[in-house]
Structure 1
């Protein structure tokens, strides 16, 4: 079948047209027989089929009855391989390259042009970058239709708001110039490092308000719903409720589609959302902003696994709009944008950083070790207790960050430290903890739930168990005894606090669940740093710095008595980045090390995972660039015992200049497998966050 053609398999669905060509003529058409539209009778349709070898448009005839409604961008139903499937009209044309018969469009589901030309180009670019298909990207980009919402009377378009004050940006070098350039519609790209204690939602709202006042749109993408609520509230204060739309995946289908239509129709100039909003079809874009791009919530979990930062960069490049990558910390990817001069750094002067940052110490600091020789090994050294007591005595809350939730989430043999495993399924043993009314329960398996009452280590025989990691609930229990009379609150898991009052209290949380305190925290204790730094992950150090800085940024400045105690050796580069509050310097060092070792983002890398024999065959026939290097394959460790353990994974890396060729080769390989009707699944992921 030639490109652009759609041939039905079942003869009873083929409509033979009378005339000299596939377009037909009005002469000789029997009564009741469909005839093609007189103007642009061919519709090129993206068909919603999950097959890589069908990742292109297919030509269909437009019936004369649908001539006005079957417009580019609308949803349609078509016959494909004998079945009715959904599709989007990409364009209308006067002729087709296909020389055979064409099927007709069955019906127009909605005449709302949801697939705009800009969105279609973006979806194609994202699919090509990540070796995916257009159908996969469109499922992420366009929400399901809700017919009643389309029939509602649309709200009036919001008037451009007045330009807000941007005084807060004057504290940053090039800050005012960035806002002025975005308001003027210039192609301004920046990496903004926010000061500790900064009211960053207000700064982003000022940036968006200035762009909206100039008649252009701004899209801001944040990691979670708590950040979304804060940024949306700030934007509404400056520009008004009618000018702001919040998009997130947890909205109901009707409300999500209603807000998405407001964006597509240009009724809102400021769009704030979580990961699902990265494809929001904003009109006349002036700026794209991603906050905290290192958060793993910005990475899509569904194929083709795009990342918010990279999608917004593509949008900014294609539309000529501005782009801002913002956060308290800085990723290696953001540093690469700076070093390649694609983006300018927006930083505060060092003296202002020192005035805004809290005083930070590590437990391995020589001065602290002299005062407390056990500080290097203690989970709560004397410095941590002193900082907490001082903050509570001053009437301020104390933030305690613990890497793991639960009570005791991991156990090991008390004698040889071998991980404690279930005798039934080999799952990890843990102590879940009790409720407020009950005592902690005994050890049980985290997988099958079996209770372990008589543990015997497979290495050294019968023995007791000890905690490997202490969770947030156990930590809260310990701190409640250490500071009697002070309330202890927990935040994490299914119970995340948004705000806590600025009064004496101990707030124990997991990374990412830190609530904002009125007036700021008096101290922050960042416990068990080894648990974050010892993870077998390429991004362990970078992620640790990001999590620590996100928590420390909520603490008052050193001049106001704010202190941060890091539970890790003060000589570590990550702790030194905290002490100096220098995320840019750490990101520069991290990028240099990755470039030397050949890891992303210095190179483009693909992860290919499949059954061992399938992966071997794919790698054998895969046409790779000459510069490509294949690492592996290696077995993929199953997450649970009993699951298939035959999967293997190979990593393929190429220079960044060869990234497009690598993605094209992988996409072609998937297309060949799809055409052969191969049933074995192959997972392909470009630039994965996790390499181990």
Structure 2
């Protein structure tokens, strides 16, 4: 054999001899490890987020791993992509993937030889049976896979956190006094039910003012007093901090944990382990805390369920409210959805008698809330004061009077300086000549920038009429701060919102000294003693969004800002610049979010829209979407809406279609099952994937 020849000069026989010699030179594989005599089969949920692989797989447990391979432990296995149970690791090859042991068995229903576990990453049982059942239920409801849900439910491992000893559980606290819950006729009874081990379910419309964090904390303490655990999910870290402070004041340190991204991966995992081990039974956290493995769960609560932060952006995109409804049902826990506003989904829980309303009498609501006054957009445009300070005369007077008594809050729908521009002559939106993105004006250089590609535009002209002058479609928070600063030169001006040029970031609180606080929705800081007044500007920006929830969302954001203002008896006044006759504006004036939600629910029922009906969106190429609709075993009563062009985040991406599938109440599970099965079949044959989302929030 001439081994000096180049590979392409060797014949097939010579190449075969060389390969055989190489194989003989390799060391022989070690003898297979002995298999455990006790429950030798481990059923594993592998980390493969593909619909056609969404099942459990059986592996043999080596004797050396017997003690560590407990149900719930993390393991690593060989996975070759087979779809029949037990075949996952049959070949010596395959890919090493992570997974969780879900149970140990005496035998497998697969008749062939089982591949052994490759390793036990940790003997810590992080996947409890309750968490596994919840993850499976969430995956089924949202047409997703168990692997996707487990990635959301179980945080990444940190060995140092696992090595630390868990603190000893503390005895239950004493039952709390009702406190401000007494303002609600059924509030004390709700607490007594929790204290007695009951499972009350309520939709709570909170009164304006600073009391809601302590009221949530009181409900948690009442649950702990019964010897059970409690879970509270809030939209953001600022809300979590307020509830955390209230719980610390009622319970002291060490009885609860806060699960947010701000604490860092290792510290968050350490706290999660304390909950999983049963050392702590009270959790306050943001979205991912909805899966927190609280022992003996007695209460699940969500604050402000209309906030978009409660909708998980990662597959299968569950909503916190729906996950907590599942937990309350399957784990036999009490349920509380609270907020200053009320969503149509919460109103449906009351309408279906699944939960009871928890509200205050009208006279109590009027005493707790500020005075709300309205100004039409047209009046603001004609007002001379609006041309200098962007405020109509009424708002200017309210601001001037409020600054003599304390800080004044100004809510502006958009951040930035002038984030949206149009031609002054024909009102056509100003667009980038390269990518067609929206042009905006920034405060730092006063030069036109493209909001998509960042390109500078130095010689803009309107393509529709040839005009060269621009007008503001929307004025941002920074521009508002500049204008109000000139109108009230002796008053400090502060901004709160996502950090940007000249901004201060999101402020947690401000003092009670006179100041103008310019904030975007959701970033309003809490003022000591409450704001003297609040201005809600550019209401049309919120109300004119092409979204089914535009009115509900506008009211929710207005209520959140207005609730930070002092009661009317103390001079608190809110001015909203919007059309007074619109339903959300009237609901704000009357402070009647429940009435608004009930009316919204009634209209959606007449039109067959969520939440009365169930809906799914299917997004992909036109051919892929058509294939799913044609091949899926959809419920017979399914309405197919579309296809229509899907909204594109990237204008350079290829165009996609979207179809909405609507079914009546009671058929949502069948719709999700049909879509998941269709996805599995298409992926198994290598077809082009589509995006499926159950209960999409942006149906327009």
What TM-score, normalized to structure 2?
0.91
Q: Which residues in structure 2 correspond to 1:15-54 (within 5 Å)?
A: 33-54=32-53
**Alignment partner, residue 664 of structure 1:** 673
* Partner SS state of residue 652, structure 1: strand
Q: Which residues in structure 2 correspond to 1:324-335 (within 5 Å)?
A: 324-335=336-347
Of the candidates 521, 544, 560, which is equivalent to residue 550 of structure 1? 560
| Deviations, residues 523-552 of structure 1 (Å, cap 9, x unaligned) | 110000000000000100000000000000
| Deviations, residues 98-128 of structure 1 (Å, cap 9, x unaligned) | 1112111122111111000000000000000
Of the candidates 315, 318, 321, which is equivalent to residue 327 of structure 2? 315
Residues 415 and 497, structure 2, Cα contact 8 Å, conserved in 1: yes
* CA gap 1:374/1:391 in 2 versus in 1, 3 angstroms: closer
* Partner SS state of residue 298, structure 2: strand
Of the candidates 640, 649, 663, which is equivalent to residue 654 of structure 1? 663
**Alignment partner, residue 122 of structure 1:** 134
- Asked if 1:526 is matched to 2:533, the reply is no
* CA gap 1:314/1:376 in 2 versus in 1, 3 angstroms: farther
* Partner SS state of residue 609, structure 1: strand
- Asked if 1:503 is matched to 2:513, the reply is yes
Of the candidates 374, 392, 397, which is equivalent to residue 362 of structure 1? 374
Residues 363 and 375, structure 1, Cα contact 8 Å, conserved in 2: no
Deviation at 1:377, TM superposition (A): 14
**Alignment partner, residue 350 of structure 2:** 338
* CA gap 1:677/1:195 in 2 versus in 1, 3 angstroms: same
| Deviations, residues 656-684 of structure 1 (Å, cap 9, x unaligned) | 20000000001101111221133x33111
**Alignment partner, residue 467 of structure 1:** 472
Residues 361 and 570, structure 1, Cα contact 8 Å, conserved in 2: no
Of the candidates 597, 601, 605, which is equivalent to residue 611 of structure 2? 601
**Alignment partner, residue 139 of structure 1:** 151
Deviation at 1:456, TM superposition (A): 1.2
Aligned-partner Cα distance in 2 for 1:348–1:377:
42
- Asked if 1:686 is matched to 2:694, the reply is yes
* Partner SS state of residue 512, structure 1: coil
Of the candidates 117, 120, 126, which is equivalent to residue 108 of structure 1? 120
* CA gap 1:593/1:92 in 2 versus in 1, 3 angstroms: same
Aligned-partner Cα distance in 2 for 1:245–1:595:
40
Aligned-partner Cα distance in 2 for 1:448–1:634:
26
Aligned-partner Cα distance in 2 for 1:586–1:374:
33
Moved over 6 A (4+): 371-378
Aligned-partner Cα distance in 1 for 2:448–2:234:
38
Which moves more between the two structures, 417-426 or 542-551? 417-426
Aligned-partner Cα distance in 1 for 2:659–2:627:
12
- Asked if 1:677 is matched to 2:686, the reply is yes
Deviation at 1:570, TM superposition (A): 1.1
Deviation at 1:642, TM superposition (A): 2.3
Structure 1 spans left out of the alignment, 5+ residues: 1-29, 435-439
Residues 198 and 334, structure 2, Cα contact 8 Å, conserved in 1: yes
**Alignment partner, residue 212 of structure 1:** 224
Aligned-partner Cα distance in 1 for 2:157–2:259:
15
Residue-pair matches, total? 653
* Partner SS state of residue 287, structure 1: strand
Of the candidates 215, 239, 260, which is equivalent to residue 248 of structure 1? 260
| Deviations, residues 223-273 of structure 1 (Å, cap 9, x unaligned) | 001011111111111112100100013432211110110010111121000
Residues 217 and 282, structure 1, Cα contact 8 Å, conserved in 2: yes
- Asked if 1:490 is matched to 2:502, the reply is no
* Partner SS state of residue 148, structure 2: helix
Aligned-partner Cα distance in 1 for 2:268–2:31:
40
| Deviations, residues 478-509 of structure 1 (Å, cap 9, x unaligned) | 11111120011000012000000011110000
**Alignment partner, residue 437 of structure 2:** 427
* Partner SS state of residue 653, structure 1: strand
What TM-score, normalized to structure 1?
0.92
Aligned-partner Cα distance in 1 for 2:601–2:372:
24
Of the candidates 416, 420, 430, which is equivalent to residue 410 of structure 1? 420
- Asked if 1:589 is matched to 2:599, the reply is yes
Residues 415 and 520, structure 2, Cα contact 8 Å, conserved in 1: yes
* Partner SS state of residue 42, structure 2: strand
Deviation at 1:623, TM superposition (A): 1.2
Deviation at 1:39, TM superposition (A): 2.1
* Partner SS state of residue 530, structure 1: helix
Residues 190 and 345, structure 1, Cα contact 8 Å, conserved in 2: yes
Aligned-partner Cα distance in 2 for 1:260–1:283:
12
Deviation at 1:375, TM superposition (A): 8.8
Aligned-partner Cα distance in 2 for 1:190–1:449:
48
Aligned-partner Cα distance in 2 for 1:135–1:251:
25
